[in-house]
Structure 1
Amino acid sequence: MEVVYAAYEAIRNGDAAAAAALVHPEITIRQSDRLPWGGFHQGLAGFREFFATVSSHISSTVEPEAVYQAGDRVVQVGRTRGIVRANGRPFDSHEVHIWRITDGLITALEIYVEDEMFLAVLGEGSA
């Protein structure tokens, strides 16, 4: 769980190098492809691209409400709050992150948020 907390801290501080140091070179990231930053991303390049694309669309803070460890997975349930960069609209979404940790490195991340809400505040309507 320390790796996940360190990842949240690095992301919160905008420290891409510290975040990248926590991930396995073949990391996979999955999020709904309905979102502009979603889809499947792999490797360090995919990790960097994913977070750069998210950051180009929104400014947000993850607020964990519960964190559970289950074997090599850490599940975080909470909220993400912030604003859309293009239009200044605020958002507040329930979210779940499922992290997979192997040998102290993040090997996978699955992200679940309220797609419809995000599409609405992004100005993209229902898709």
Structure 2
Amino acid sequence: MRTAYEIVKAHYDANERRDMDGMLADIAPDCRWTEMDGFPCAGTYVGPQEVFKNVFLALGDIFEVYNFKLDRLLDAGSDVVGIGDYAGTHKETGKPFEARVVHVWGVADGKIRRFEQFTDTLRVAEAMK
């Protein structure tokens, strides 16, 4: 069985390839995915389809360009921490932003069960005004 670290790394590798199926593959049906309050798609979503609709599709609707670049991936057993940067350009304003971000993942029984995002929501909000 793959480790939590390997499962989360596979998600980030799929993101790098722009492979949505790969990004969703290891998200459990009961996964609680939380986007930070103040972020455009803030909230907690349960399961891969809710994450796809309310996070990935929503970001694509809001931003012309939206990227995440992983800087470091930390192995904490069943928890994994991803540290990196968001960058994007808001569709309506044309303003770009960059923001540092931390993702905290919880993995159990070979599936992603929990995700929580911590980021500088002010940088994103400034691009949207």
User: Fold-level match, TM-score > 0.5?
Assistant: yes
Query: What does 1:103-118 align with in structure 2 at a 5 Å threshold?
Result: 103-118=109-124
3-state SS of 1:47 partner: helix
Q: How far, CA to CA, are the matches of 2:47 and 2:56 in structure 1?
A: 12
Q: CA deviation at 1:41?
A: 0.8
Matched, 1:93 2:99: yes
8 Å CA contact 1:31, 1:40 repeated in 2? yes
8 Å CA contact 2:85, 2:101 repeated in 1? yes
Query: What does 1:1-127 align with in structure 2 at a 5 Å threshold?
Result: 1-49=5-53, 50-58=55-63, 59-123=65-129
Mean Cα displacement is larger for which, 99-108 or 13-22? 13-22
8 Å CA contact 1:60, 1:80 repeated in 2? yes
Number of matched pairs: 123
8 Å CA contact 1:27, 1:47 repeated in 2? no
Q: CA deviation at 1:35?
A: 2.2
RCO greater where, 1 or 2, for CA within 8 Å and sep 6 or more? Answer: 2
Q: CA deviation at 1:32?
A: 2.0
3-state SS of 2:37 partner: coil
Runs of 4 or more above 3 Å deviation:
none
Q: How far, CA to CA, are the matches of 1:85 and 1:2 in structure 2?
A: 34
Give a deviation string over 1:8-45, Cα, whole Å, max 9, x none. Answer: 22223332222221111111111223222111111122
Unaligned ranges ≥5, structure 1: none
Q: CA deviation at 1:68?
A: 0.8
Distance 1:56 1:11, change over 3 A: farther
Q: CA deviation at 1:2?
A: 1.8
TM-score, L = length of structure 2: 0.84
8 Å CA contact 1:23, 1:44 repeated in 2? yes
8 Å CA contact 2:105, 2:115 repeated in 1? yes
> What is the identity, as a one-letter code, of the residue corresponding to 2:68?
V
Unaligned ranges ≥5, structure 2: none
Q: How far, CA to CA, are the matches of 1:83 and 1:9 in structure 2?
A: 22
TM-score, L = length of structure 1: 0.85
Q: CA RMSD in A?
A: 1.6
